[in-house]
Chain A
Amino acid sequence: MSDRDLHDHIIRALADAPYRTASESLADLVHEGGRVDRFATFLARHFYYERLHHLFKYARALARITDRRPEEVVRSSAFDALLPNLVLGSRDSAVQVGRLASAHVRSGRHLDDIPYLDDLLLYEEARMMVESGPRGHPSDDDVDVGPAVAQEGTTIIELAHDIVPLLPKLLTDWVEPPTAEREPIKLLIARTRAGRVTTVRATSSMERLLELADGSHAVDVLARDIGATGSTVEQALTGLKEIGAIRFSTGS
């Protein structure tokens, strides 16, 4: 094993709690075993503090009335209970930590003044889930031909309120919390291999294209299914690829 491979083993041990617990060689590498666990806990708190600070910024903007900042949850006993199973950056861990943050916000004050709070939290949890997972190399997105394949993590959420116009208002210097129209919407959230998360309003044809994007349907088949022209489907697929919702399969 090269030193670089050995270092990967240490990085994984710090990031992946079950791997760390199961590792028999770690004790030979680091004699101060307690310090590895301490540093891993420190890293986990830092990692999710940063994620929540960034990905739950709208719920945090509401903290002036809820008195609950989502990122505070990393200092809770509920977060401590997750530590033995956390894998930094994994989808499962992102989902669990996101739910904790939402629960923390829901324990706050004046929730009746924020009728769209559940939708907002669902949106932020979804973005946190989509943002997680291993990064790839940006050039992995460069293939422009082949059948479309939906990217793991791409998600569509249904909300009872149209929160899209609300989001920028939440980040302004408001006194009364901004309002949102009660109107059902669907949002598509996707992430590029480089890590850029994008949200767009989901149309029914987008939704259908993603359902069919399993690498086995050619453009003409997709066009017949959604009742559109081939060039319209190609244009839609290019848009979905740019936001990371799909990739084009090379067949390998």
Chain B
Amino acid sequence: MSQIMVGGFYNPHLGAELVGAAGTFDHLAMADPPSSTDPYWPVIKERYTLLLHDYLGQLSEPLAPEAVKRARDLAALYDTPWVAEHFQCLHTQDGSYNLNYVFPPLYTQEFLDRFTANALALAEKLDQPLVMENIPGFFHVEVDQMPESEWLTRFFDTTGSGFLLDLPHIWIEAHYQDRSPEEFLEAFPLEHVVEIHVAGVEEDADLGGPWISPAPPPEEMFAFAEHALGLCPETRAITFDAFSPTLKAEVMFGTIDRIRRLVA
């Protein structure tokens, strides 16, 4: 348990604070490439283990050669131990409509075949392992052929990819399905988990309920994380999943401190 890395996302507006906090953070996840004008980037790159967590493309379609090249270039730049993508399908095939926000696929055999084939193709072109993050649904689509947990189990069993378990996503889905988060979690293939995300949640007026927010995670989320850690023996990193220009340094540092106490 003591070998688990604890970190957060690189938020460039907090660059000055992060440069001086190498003892606090073991790693930083990179959601965007560094800006050429970011004065802190050279030190950040030198001091931290960096995790590639950018948008590379949706694996419902094969990644274009330029997207694969971009993924490889970023992975090399960061010297990342693994490359993350999401179980998401957020734009139409012709590119006419794009939600610009994570949105899950249908949990059908056709989508499973698509994601499996495209993830295997991507993984073959990478020098690092691929890990895939679960994405929450806010509503159920009647054509789903299996639960999300079964779809993910089949995906990981076939591809051998790592599982980036986003706990708030699980927590939110359980909430909207009126189920216990712990019971909901246990159906997922936790033996594949490599990295865990924790994050804050807040009430959203449009959704009429909780959603992800760059706020401190509530104690309930830390308790859930502690529970999850006991079920995920291969976990190598826990990341505070907050990437927002509104994120405050005290929230980021306070959360990291709290996570450290979980894994101590």
Complex: A11 Cα to B206 Cα, angstroms: 18
- Give me 14 A-to-B residue pairs in the complex whose CB atoms sit less than 8 angstroms apart, sorted by A's number: A3-B108, A3-B143, A8-B92, A8-B93, A8-B97, A11-B92, A11-B99, A14-B99, A15-B98, A38-B207, A39-B139, A47-B99, A134-B95, A137-B95
Total of A-B residue pairs, C-beta within 8 Å: 97
Binding site for B on A (CB under 8 A): 2-8, 10-12, 14-16, 28-32, 35-36, 38-39, 41-43, 45-47, 50, 53, 88-89, 134-139
For B87-114 the 0/1 string (1 means CB < 8 A from A) is: 0011111111111110101101011001
Tell me whether A29 and B141 are in contact (CB under 8 A): yes
A12-B139 contact in complex given A4-B60, A89-B97, C-beta closer than 8 Å = no
- Contacting residues, chain B, for A38 (C-beta < 8 A): 138, 206-208
Query: Which residue, of B93, B95, B114, B141, has the highest number of chain A Cβ atoms within 10 A?
Result: B141
C-alpha gap A32/B108 in the complex (Å): 19
The proximity string for B residues 104-126 relative to A, scoring 1 for CB distances below 8 Å and 0 otherwise, is 01101011001000000000000
For residue B14, CB closer than 8 A to chain A, the reply is no
Tell whether, in the assembled complex, residue B138 and residue A35 are in contact, meaning their CB atoms are under 8 Å apart.
yes
Contacts of A136 in B (CB 8 A): 95
Contact B95 A31 (CB under 8 A): no
Are B98 and A3 closer than 8 Å at their CB atoms? Answer: no
Closest chain B residue to A83, Cβ basis: B206
In the bound complex, CA of A128 to CA of B142 (Å)? 37
Highest count of chain B CB atoms <10 Å: which of A6, A11, A88: A11
Judging by beta carbons under 8 Å apart, are B92 and A47 in contact? no
Shortest beta-carbon distance, B135 to chain A, in Å?
A: 13
* Distance A31 CA – B139 CA, assembled complex (angstroms): 9
Decide yes or no whether B204 CB sits under 8 A from chain A.
yes
B64 lies within 8 A of chain A by Cβ: yes
Looking at the assembled complex, report how far the CB atom of B239 sits from the nearest CB atom of chain A, in whole angstroms.
22
Number of chain B interface residues as a range? 35 or more
Select one of A41, A47, A88 contacting B206, CB under 8 A.
A41
A53: shortest Cβ distance to chain B, in Å?
Answer: 7
Asked if B140 is at the interface of the complex by the 8 Å CB criterion, the answer is yes
Known A47-B101, A134-B96, A135-B95; contact A11-B139, beta-carbon cutoff 8 A: no
* Residue of A2, A16, A38, A88 contacting most chain B CB atoms (<10 Å): A38
Q: What's the dominant secondary structure at chain B's contact region?
A: loop
Establish whether residues A50 and B140, one from each chain, have CB atoms under 8 Å apart when the complex forms: no
A169 to B122, CA, bound (A): 43
Is there a chain A Cβ closer than 8 Å to B171's Cβ? no
> Closest CB of chain B to A12's CB: distance in Å?
5
Q: Complex: how many Å from CA A167 to CA B204?
A: 35
Are A4 and B93 CB-contacts (below 8 A) given A10-B141, A88-B100?
A: yes
Nearest chain B CB to A82 CB, angstrom units: 14
B143 touches A89 (CB 8 A): no
Tell me, yes or no, whether B23 is within 8 Å of chain A by CB.
Answer: no
User: Which of chain A's residues have a CB closer than 8 A to the CB of B103?
Assistant: 11, 14
User: Do residues A42 and B206 form an inter-chain contact, with CB atoms below 8 A?
Assistant: yes
In the complex, what distance in Å separates the CA atom of A159 from the CA atom of B207? 42
Chain B residues within an 8 Å CB radius of A30: 139-142
Once the chains are docked, how many angstroms separate the CA of A134 from the CA of B103?
18
Contact B110 A4 (CB under 8 A): yes
Contact between chains at B100 and A47 (CB < 8 Å): yes
What residues of chain A lie closer than 8 Å to B96, measured between beta carbons?
A: 12, 134
Closest to B60 in A: A4
- Give the residue name and chain of the B residue nearest to A13 (CB): B97
Contact residues of B between 59 and 85, Cβ < 8 Å to A? 60, 64, 66
Complex CA distance for A163 and B114, rounded to whole angstroms? 49
List, in ascending order, chain B residues with CB within 8 A of A12's CB.
92, 96-97
* 192-220 of chain B: CB within 8 A of chain A: 204, 206-208, 211
A24 to chain B, nearest CB (A): 15
Cα-based distance from A53 to B99 in the complex (angstroms) = 17
Task: Assess whether A11 is in contact with B66, with CB atoms less than 8 Å apart.
Answer: no
Residues of A within 8 A of B42 (CB): none
**A16-B208 contact, Cβ under 8 Å, with A4-B60, A7-B89:** no
Chain A residues near B230 (CB-CB < 8 A): none
Q: Is the pair B89, A11 in contact by a Cβ cutoff of 8 Å?
A: yes
